[in-house]
Amino acid sequence: MSASHRPCIYTARSASNKEFAVKLLGIIFAAVVLWLAVAVPGFRKVLLIGGVVIVGVVLLVVLKESTTKQTPSAIYQPGLAVPALAPPKLIPPASIEARDIRTDFPGYGRQISRVTVRLFNNSTQETLKKADFRLLIADCKNVANKTAKKSGDCVTVDDETGSFDYLNVPPQEARDVSLTVKNLGVTILGSPRIDLTVTAAQAE
């Protein structure tokens, strides 16, 4: 056997010796306790009391662990159902009127980039909170007789939808609101024709 394997053998023997010594001490201790319990009457009482105390401690530890496992914080509880939000109170779109449309035309490069409109709340009870709209901008040719203008003389150059939020228009009142045309504006070669229609409305 080479010298390189000897330390491993010595380590195993040392561990085995220690284990044997611990077992031997345990046997001697148990024998002494048994002899005292037989030979000394007073020691039996001490041994009995000590056994009762040890059993009581063990029971308390087990009971505490069982109680900890059953605490509400450790038990899974499904989350409470969130109550459904009440649906928004609607106002008939026909009760909201868009009038007095103004623009910044002719702006830079004959563009329309901003539209202002006056919203009339014709409802007798509800305060207007939000209004959805559709905006149409048409470019119409300049003709001498404007009364004889045909539908083919105008072409739609912008068709978009949006909403006016955070309004506060009491019943039977009006407010001016403004919007920015998408893509920062639209170019008009002739004359503009603008139509804004309210498609939906919500009350406070």
At 4-45, the pLDDT tens digits run 455 555 555 665 676 777 677 767 876 766 666 666 666 666
Confidence (pTM): 0.55
**Is residue 170 included in any domain, yes or no?**
yes
Cα(192)–Cα(114) distance, integer angstroms: 13
3-class DSSP assignment, residue 150: coil
Averaged confidence pLDDT in the chain: 80
pLDDT digits 0-9 by tens, 148-165: 455 568 999 999 999 999
Whether 123 and 193 share a structural domain: yes
Cα(151)–Cα(146) distance, integer angstroms: 12
Whether 50 and 128 share a structural domain: no
Whether 30 and 106 share a structural domain: no
Whether 61 and 111 share a structural domain: no
Whether 175 and 95 share a structural domain: yes
Cα(38)–Cα(55) distance, integer angstroms: 22
**Is residue 74 included in any domain, yes or no?**
no
Phi, psi of 195 (to 5 degrees): -135, 125
**Is residue 84 included in any domain, yes or no?**
no
Phi, psi of 21 (to 5 degrees): -65, -40
Whether 122 and 195 share a structural domain: yes
**Is residue 188 included in any domain, yes or no?**
yes
Residues of the chain with pLDDT under 70: 1-16, 18, 22, 26, 30, 32-48, 51-53, 55, 66-79, 143-152
Contacts of 202 (CB under 8 A, 6+ apart): 88, 89, 90, 91, 128, 129, 130, 131
Whether 132 and 188 share a structural domain: yes
Choose one of 69, 99, 121: the last residue of a domain.
69
Contact 176, 118 (CB under 8 A): yes
pLDDT for the residue numbered 27: 79
Whether 105 and 178 share a structural domain: yes
Residue 103 CB burial class (10 angstroms; 0-12, 13-18, ≥19): buried
**Is residue 148 included in any domain, yes or no?**
yes
Whether 54 and 123 share a structural domain: no
Whether 49 and 95 share a structural domain: no
**Is residue 109 included in any domain, yes or no?**
yes
Whether 169 and 120 share a structural domain: yes
Domain count, the chain: 2
Whether 143 and 179 share a structural domain: yes
**Is residue 158 included in any domain, yes or no?**
yes
Domain that holds residue 158: 90-203
**Is residue 45 included in any domain, yes or no?**
yes
CATH number of the structural domain spanning residue 155: 2.60.40
pLDDT for the residue numbered 85: 83
